[in-house]
Amino acid sequence: MNRFLRYPLHEEAGVEDKPGAGDAPKMYTAEEVQALIEKEVAGLKANQEALLSEKKEAARRAKEAEEERQRAHQEALKAAGKMDEFEKTIRSQYEPVLKEKEER
């Protein structure tokens, strides 16, 4: 079938001076390529830093929550008069610290 019969209007056929109708691919200089790479890397680094700070914040909150839970448990044991269990929880909390100091 003839191309001119399929596209009666010249605009529909894809005029050569319009983008995408046989244009040569855009060429980049080395500086332009380096700038594009640096821009992309900067965005990735910023995203990585944001994710790392989120992770650190979540770890800090989890540690604080665990410490608060342990403190509440110890207070409950102390209030209930179970001093033996209270002492065990305190010892288990500080034994790793004491072992580390003894090893030095």
Q: Could you report the per-residue pLDDT of 7-66, keeping only the tens digit for each?
A: 555 555 555 555 555 567 788 899 999 999 999 999 999 999 999 999 999 999 999 999
pLDDT at 7: 55
Taking residues 82-92, what's their average pLDDT? Answer: 77
Report pTM.
0.47
Residue 63 in contact with residue 75, Cβ under 8 Å?
A: no
Report yes or no on 18 lying in a domain. no
Number of domains in the chain: 1
Q: 3-class SS at 23?
A: coil
pLDDT at 66: 93
Report yes or no on 96 lying in a domain. yes
Report yes or no on 11 lying in a domain. no
Confidence of residue 92 (pLDDT cuts 50, 70, 90): confident
List the domain range (segments joined by +) for residue 55. 29-103
Report yes or no on 10 lying in a domain. no
User: To which H or E segment does residue 101 belong?
Assistant: helix 83-103
Helix 30-80 to helix 83-103 angle (10° resolution) is 140
* Higher pLDDT pick, 88 / 61: 61
pLDDT at 13: 52
Interacting residues of 90 by C-beta distance below 8 A, sequence separation 6+? 74
Which class for 90: exposed (0-12), middle (13-18), buried (19 or more C-beta within 10 A)?
middle
Report yes or no on 21 lying in a domain. no
Report yes or no on 89 lying in a domain. yes
Residue at 7: amino acid letter = Y
DSSP assignment of 48-66 equals HHHHHHHHHHHHHHHHHHH
Report yes or no on 22 lying in a domain. no
